[in-house]
Structure 1
C-alpha cells in the first residue's frame, strides 16, 4: 500500500489526483492525505496554502501503516514527521520548488534541511543544482536539451526517448510511479527504469497535461476482445439456427468508438461448415464489418448501445420478437435513395437513422426482407454481447 501526502491541483494534471491516477494504473492500493490547497489551472498557479501538520496527523494516524509513502507538495518539516511516525516505510519525496509558470512554492535552503528524512528525493536537474546534489537524489532531466530524457541516480544514468511536447505533471507521475514500483518490491534501479517506461507510454497518449487515465483505454480494448472471445462458444452453439448465408458477425465497440476500427469483431465472420458454426478467427479490431458500422452509427444517438450482430431472416423470428416485447423496425430497401445504394456501407448507416427516426427510441431489432443481390437479414442491438445473445434466444424460443 502507498500513502500519498500531496497537494491538490484542481486541474488534476499534477498533485494528489495525478498521484492516485498513476498508482491506480499500477494496480497499487492507495491512501491519500492532502497537504496543500492550490488555486491553479493547466497553465498557471495563482496561490497555495499549506495544511498544518497536526491537522494532517489526525488523518494519517487512523490509516494502516504504509509500505511506501509518496510525498509531494508539503511543508518540508512534514517529511520528518512522517519518517518519525513510519520509520519502516520507504519515503519518496517529489520536491517542488516552483511551478513551470514561475510560482515559488519552497525555499531551497529550507528543503535542504529535511531531504535526509526521505529515502529517495525526486527532483529535476535545476532544482538539484539549487539545493545541492545528494546521494539519495533521483534527478530528472526533462528540462535539459536533446531528444532523450536522462535520469540520474548516484552513478547510474538511465535514458529514454523524449516524447515531443510540453506536459504539466510529469514530476508527479514519475515520482508516483517510482513509489508504486517500490511498493511492488522492485529494486530502486528497476523502479526508475520501469517508471520512465510507464511515463513515456502515458505521454504518448497525452496532450498538454499528463493524462494517465488514458492508459485505461488499453484495458477497455482487452475487455472488448476478451468479452467477445468468451461468449463466442454460445453463439457457435446456436449458429445452425442463426448464421445467414453471408456469415455472421458480432461487433462490440469501445465506449468512445467513432470508426469501425474501434469496434471489436470477428474477421472473416462466423460461417457454417457441414452444419456447424465455426469462427474464422478470434476477436480483433482489424478488418471491416457492416455490423461494426451499424454499431458506430447507433452510438451517435445512443452511446450505451455498443453491440450489434446479424441473424438470418426467418419470419417466425421477427414475430416472436414482437410478441416478447422487443422494439422491431422493418426496413424497406426499395426506399433507399440511389446515392445511399451506391456508397459502400452507407446502407447500414441509413438503416439505423431511419429506424431511430420512426421509432423515436433505440431499436432492439432492425430487419429487412432482402432486395436485388441482398440477403434478407435481422440485426440485433444491445449494450453488450450478452444482452444481444439474450434477445436472439427470445427469437429462437417457441
Structure 2
C-alpha cells in the first residue's frame, strides 16, 4: 500500500505539542505518511519558548532534496519559517513542485514566543503566498500580514479576499479568538464559507494551528476538494481539543490521535445500542412511554464533538401496540435533536453520553423525583431571541441552562412545550443500558 505523502517544512517543538511533533500526529491520524524538513530546533515547553536554533539553509535544502528525489510528495505544508532567507529558500524549493501547498504563517507560539522575524513577514507575502494553495492565518497573523485590524466576521471576509489578491489560491482565516462563538472563514477567490462550532473551554490548545494545517494538507494529498477537507480537518481539531492532554503547567497540547477514538469505539458502541433496543422492544407496556412525535435514543462515541459522533435510531422509535419498536437501524448522525442534548450534557460531564426522548407527564416527573433522581425543567418561553432564530438550538440551550442551574447533569430534563411544540421528558445516563434501566423504573417495571 502506498499512502498519501505529505512533506512538512516546519520547526521542532521540544515539548511535543506543536510544530513537527503535532504535524506527524495529525497526518498519521488521517492515514497519510508525513516526511519532514526541519527548519529550526526550539527549546520550549507548555509555558514558553526559551531558545530557537535555526537549521543551516544548506541543510534545509538537503533535507528537501533527499525526500523529493526518492519518496516524492502529494502535498506540502509549511509551518515555522523564522527568517526572510529561509522563506526565500522554501519559496524557491516549492517552485519545483506541482502539488497542493498549505502555508501556515506561524508567527508567535502559544506561550508568546516570537517564531518569525518581523522582516520575514514581507518575504512571506511576496514570495510564499503566490505558492500557496491555501494560507491559514489566525486573526493576529492576518493582521500582521495585512497591516490592519481583523476582529469580526466581516473583517475576516475582507482579509481572506486580500490574501487571495496577494496570490494565495485560497485563504482560511481562523477566528478562534472571535468574541462569542468562534469560526473560520474560507475564501477560494469565488465564494466564501464560514465554519462555526461552539467554543470548547480548555487551556489545552497548544498545536491547534499546526494540527489543522497538516490535517488539511493530508486530505488534499488524498484528493479531497478544499472545502470538504477544511470541514473534516476542523472536526479532527475539535476532537483533538476535546481530548487535549493535561501536561506541564501552561497550555497543554491538543491530541490529534483522539480523532481515532470514535472509529475505534464505533463497533462496541453499536453493540451497546443494539442490546439496549432489544431489551426495550422485549418489554410489553413501554409503548405509552414515547411522545406523539415518537421517541429517540442517542449514544455518543467517546470524545464526540458533532452530531456525526452520536449514534441514534434512523426513523426514531415508534410503538406497535404496547411495545416499542425501532423504525430503522442505529446509525451515526441519525438524529441531530438527540445529539444536541447529549453533546450539551457531555460538555459538562464527558461521561454522560446517552439520552432518550420520552412522553411528558406530571406523574412521570413525580415518579422520577420519588426515585431520588435529579430533575430539571427549562421553559421555551425564556429562550433568548438569538437562540430561537437558530434552527435546532432550543434543545442545546435548554439542556445547558438546566445543567448550569443544577450544577450537574440530572437524570431527567423536561419542558412543557409551546405552540406547535409537544412537551417532552428526556432521560440522561452514561450509556444506553443505563437509559433502559431508568426507562423501566420510570414505567414502574424496574427492580
- What is the TM-score normalised by the length of structure 1? 0.53
* 1:84 and 2:95 aligned: yes
Aligned to 2:182: 148
* In 1, Cα distance between equivalents of 2:221 and 2:27: 10
* 1:125 and 2:169 aligned: no
User: Superposed, which structure 2 residues align to 1:44-59 within 5 Å?
Assistant: 44-59=48-63
Aligned with 2:177: secondary structure?
coil
Shift of 1:219: 5.1
Shift of 1:217: 4.0
Name stretches of at least 5 consecutive residues in structure 1 with no aligned partner.
227-398
Cα deviations by residue, 1:31-81 (Å, 9 ceiling, x for unpaired) = 122111111001211121221232122222222221101111123223312
Aligned to 1:172: 210
Aligned with 2:176: secondary structure?
coil
Cα deviations by residue, 1:117-176 (Å, 9 ceiling, x for unpaired) = 222211112211221241122211112211232333244132231222231111001101
Aligned to 2:239: 201
* In 2, Cα distance between equivalents of 1:215 and 1:138: 21
* 1:13 and 2:17 aligned: yes
* In 1, Cα distance between equivalents of 2:79 and 2:11: 6
> How large is the RMSD of aligned CA atoms in angstroms?
2.4
Aligned with 2:115: secondary structure?
coil
Aligned with 2:212: secondary structure?
helix
Aligned with 1:85: secondary structure?
coil
Aligned to 2:249: none
* In 2, Cα distance between equivalents of 1:214 and 1:11: 19
Instruction: Provide closer, same or farther for how the CA distance between residues 197 and 216 of structure 1 changes in structure 2, counting only shifts above 3 A.
Output: closer
Aligned with 2:142: secondary structure?
helix
User: Superposed, which structure 2 residues align to 1:205-354 within 5 Å?
Assistant: 205-207=243-245, 208-218=252-262, 220-221=264-265
Cα deviations by residue, 1:246-280 (Å, 9 ceiling, x for unpaired) = xxxxxxxxxxxxxxxxxxxxxxxxxxxxxxxxxxx
* In 1, Cα distance between equivalents of 2:138 and 2:269: 41
* In 2, Cα distance between equivalents of 1:39 and 1:153: 35
* In 2, Cα distance between equivalents of 1:171 and 1:39: 19
Query: Out of 59, 73, 98, which is 1:66 matched to?
Result: 73
* 1:160 and 2:204 aligned: no
Name stretches of at least 5 consecutive residues in structure 2 with no aligned partner.
147-161, 246-251, 271-447
Cα deviations by residue, 1:296-330 (Å, 9 ceiling, x for unpaired) = xxxxxxxxxxxxxxxxxxxxxxxxxxxxxxxxxxx
Q: How many correspondences in the alignment?
A: 227
